[in-house]
Chains A and B, each alone.
Chain A
Amino acid sequence: MSVKRKGKSKVTIFPDWCKGCGICAAFCPSKVMELSEQGKAVVVREEECVHCGFCELHCPDFAIMVQPKEDKEEINPKLSTNKSLDNKEQSSSATESSSGTSSSQVKEDN
């Protein structure tokens, strides 16, 4: 299965939602992702992806999408840009969470 599928997938990471936990990079069997200096996952070896689905199922932040390359369907427009989400809210919580943990943020609501 893996051999046949290799090179046929497109791996997209939405940096606004990625918190850089590193799960995708650590467990991808083909080492497709790495963590950038900014602490975000980046796709570095897309051609090696065997479409096993591990990263998409395990990203706690729904920040990865793996699609067949032929699939021309548009990615969710709400995700490809900040604009359609609540801009202010989103960017502030994104900064907070990428700077380590967001437990302070969690505590507020308690």
Chain B
Amino acid sequence: MNEIQGTQLIHKYLRHNKKFPHVFCPGCGHGIVLGSLVRSIDALGLAKDDVCIVAGIGCSGRLAVYVDFNTVHTTHGRALTFATGIKMARPEMNVIVVMGDGDSMAIGGNHLIHAARRNIGVTALILNNNIYGMTGGQCSPTTPSGSFSMTSPYGQMEQSFDCVELCRAAKANYVARGSVFHVNELDKMVTEAISNPGFGVVEIMTPCFTQFGRKNKYKSPVEMFNYLKKNVISQERYNDLSESDRDGKIPSGVFVKKSEPGIEEKYYAMARQVQEGI
């Protein structure tokens, strides 16, 4: 690593008149995602005015509040619908959506599937903390089977969604998974997802000690990061493991990378054709 441009750089993009330190609990991974997002936008050299951050409700949704871009803090589960409208109206804008796992895969699950199917040119960052953070720790579609939450005090019985498989099957252009412990890889994925055409998804494993860790076996935020360090492994390493060794391991990396044109590109191309035809 040569030049580290961490904190100083990030401060250039914050809304300093907002409440700081931010609202996230000590050791919440959401703050690290915020840093990664800012570094990626800076690395791409995007002007602040050309970026629109659309966030849903939840702790993850608060991210939009802190950054000095065009931002919309939308209703629970509807971030992708707002983003779709913005992208269709202003296709030159870099529209980046920030959602929690509950926001994107429970209440907003249908919108996720159809955003991927349409291949709308927005980038979705899915902050997967395995729980509903803001509303007090109810289980979410990604709460691992057997783990504990406010609403599964004897262990979660449901199966959990695999965000990567879901988005791949729904035909998103770009699908990746990273973690807040592996920040350098994460920065690369976020940068790539923003610059790739069509719908891009980065699932980000990020710990919630307050609502998930404490009810499970993690005694401190540091233990949650140790969990990520140990269990989030590259998909190459994951594929080499035997079936039984894969248990509990989370493959990361870029799973899908296509360059199909986004729906907005196709729409404007068609509109031009129709107008010229008249």
Contacts and interface: CB of A to CB of B under 8 A. Distances in A.
Contacts of A86: 17, 19
A99 to B, nearest CB: 10
Interface stretch (B1-9, B105-113, B121-129): B1-9
Contacts of A106: 23-25, 59, 62, 133-134
Contact of A93 (B23, B29, B31): B23
B57 to A, nearest CB: 7
A44 interface: no
Interface-centre pick from B24, B62, B184 (highest chain A CB count, 10 A): B24
A21 B27 contact: yes
Interface of A, secondary structure class, is loop
Contacts of B85: none
A35 B88 CA distance: 49
A65 B25 CA distance: 20
Nearest to B206: A60
Given A26-B225, A86-B17, A101-B210, A60 B7 contact: no
Q: Contact residue range for chain B?
A: 35 or more
Nearest to A94: B21
B35 interface: yes
B217 interface: no
Given A22-B221, A26-B222, A60-B32, A110 B26 contact: no
Interface residues of A, number: 46
Contact of B225 (A23, A94, A107): A23
Contact of A85 (B16, B133, B220): B16
A27 B225 contact: yes
A57 B6 contact: yes
B27 A23 contact: yes
Contact of B183 (A58, A63, A94): A58
A70 B254 CA distance: 39
Contacts of B17: 85-86
Interface of A: 16-23, 26-27, 51-53, 56-66, 75-76, 78-79, 84-86, 89-90, 93-94, 97-98, 100-103, 105-107, 109-110
Given A61-B24, A110-B57, 18 more contacts: A18-B21, A23-B222, A23-B225, A26-B222, A53-B4, A60-B28, A63-B21, A65-B7, A66-B4, A85-B16, A86-B17, A89-B19, A102-B25, A103-B210, A103-B211, A106-B59, A107-B135, A109-B62
